[in-house]
Amino acid sequence: MTAVPDEPAPEERSSAAPRKPSGRVRHDEKMTVYVTADELLDIEHARLSLRRHQGLAVDRGRLVREAIAMALADLEANGDDSALVQRLIAR
C-alpha cells in the first residue's frame, strides 16, 4: 500500500497562494482488476474527455470507483431491471 504524504505544516508552506486540496481520499482496501487493452484505453479516453469537456481532473481509480458506485446504486434501486443485471445476462 502506498502511503499518502502528510500535508506540510502551515509554517512549511510557501507564501504563494494556498494549496487547493487534490480531492484524493486515502483508501484502506485494495482490489486488483484486470482489464483488456481496449478497456484500459476506453477508461483513459473517458478520463481525458472528462478533463477536456467538463474540466474534471480525475484519476482512473476515481473514475472506476464512481462507475462502480453508480452501478451498485442502480442495482439497489432497480434490481433485475438494473443496467448491471441486464449486461450480465446478455453476456
Q: How far apart are CA 29 and CA 78, in angstroms?
A: 28
C-alpha grid cell, residue 88: 450480465
State the Cα–Cα distance between residues 7 and 14, nearest whole angstrom: 13
Q: What is the model's pLDDT at position 25? A: 78
Q: What angle do CA 81, 82, 88 make, to 5 degrees?
A: 100
Question: Considering the entire predicted model, what is its pTM?
Answer: 0.68
Cα–Cα distance, 60 to 39 (Å, whole number): 12
- What is residue 13's predicted lDDT score, i.e. its pLDDT? 47
Q: What is the pLDDT along the chain (91 residues), one digit of tens a residue?
A: 545 555 455 455 455 556 665 567 788 899 999 999 999 999 999 999 999 999 999 999 999 999 999 999 999 999 999 999 999 999 8
